[in-house]
Amino acid sequence: MKTIQGPALFLAQFAGDTAPFNSLPSIAKWAASIGYRAVQIPTWDARLFDLERAAESQTYCDEIRGTLAEHGLVISELSTHLQGQLVAVHPTYDPLFDGFAAPQVRGDSAARSAWAAEQLKLAAKASQRLGLRAHATFSGALAWPYLYPWPQRPAGLVEEAFAELARRWRPLLDAFDAAGVDVCYELHPGEDLFDGVTFERFLAAVDNHPRANILYDPSHFVLQQLDYLQFIDIYHERIKAFHVKDAEFHSNGRQGVYGGFSDWADRAGRFRSLGDGQVDFGGIFSKMAQYNYEGWAVLEWECCLKHPEDGAREGAEFIKRHIIRVADRAFDDFAGAGIERKALRGLLGLDN
């Protein structure tokens, strides 16, 4: 069995224009000071990271690693959540997602998708230069507007959407394969990959590509009312990244999983800081240890109530408490006795 690495911190929700959150050296110093051992870096945030430069320059990558090492940190994964989203966008969402793209491709969906694909290829190369084994991203979505079948979906619509999604991702998965890096899709509402069934659809469409894997985040499963512990039993071989994020779900006579268009604080399902929600992290960390997950436990802080800096500080200690240092021997080894094969067969009543 393997011991999970951690705690690590996803920097996306903390990066900002004021110190210590406006540069990699300063945010790294802050993260280390509150107990983190690694950071997951959002590659779209130029205040922290230059993706194109990282893909082209080993010197730059070595400098990044050196900057983090000064504070006792390493990189858990790079993230292209925003760029991955843009690999596939239904036209309904074009105005909302355009802001994620480089200015020169906004307003042109084909150019934007091509730009996003190139960003993923850069991320594969940068991950390789940084010595990383996993990469965090979103899948994008073409079928999401048709989630609820009313009016009834035409036959073949979902199949066509997943075939196109696979067509766009297959060369990107191949690029990550050449770099020796797993693509870990965060299964997330708003993406066409949002649960086990949709992941299986995609996996079949890419011929079970070995680099098509999962970023496990139980908070999104709480909001869907999906069994997030059984999910690990089913998909543990494909879970290569882990966001530690809490959530709670309290339905009532007025709203359920759809939320009634309420603001986050008023929804039946809400994201919470670690320990403030309903997720059974003891069960999750136990299953991760059981199935030899050897990656990082990464805090993704999102909470509708608590201040982010408090959530980050508390989250580091929370993850530390839940990491299981796995046993290196069976608990009853003290009672074991070495017996030769002949004696073993005798105990079984054989060879008499």
Tokens encoding 152 = 């009834």
Residues 6+ apart with CB under 8 A from 127: 77, 78, 135, 176, 179, 181
pLDDT tens, the chain, 352 aa long: 789 999 999 999 999 999 999 999 999 999 999 999 999 999 999 999 999 999 999 999 999 999 999 999 999 999 999 999 999 999 999 999 999 999 999 999 999 999 999 999 999 999 999 999 999 999 999 999 999 999 999 999 999 999 999 999 999 999 999 999 999 999 999 999 999 999 999 999 999 999 999 999 999 999 999 999 999 999 999 999 999 999 999 999 999 999 999 999 999 999 999 999 999 999 999 999 999 999 999 999 999 999 999 999 999 999 999 999 998 776 666 667 678 888 888 889 997 6
- Residue 352: the pLDDT is 63
8 Å CB contact between 7 and 320: yes
- Residue 342: the pLDDT is 86
Strands 212-216 and 182-186: parallel
8 Å CB contact between 309 and 19: no
Q: CATH for 5-347?
A: 3.20.20.150
Residue where the block lists tokens 């945030």:
45
8 Å CB contact between 179 and 245: no
pTM: 0.94
8 Å CB contact between 213 and 134: yes
- Residue 335: the pLDDT is 62
8 Å CB contact between 10 and 297: no
Distance separating alpha carbons of residues 321 and 338, to the nearest angstrom = 37
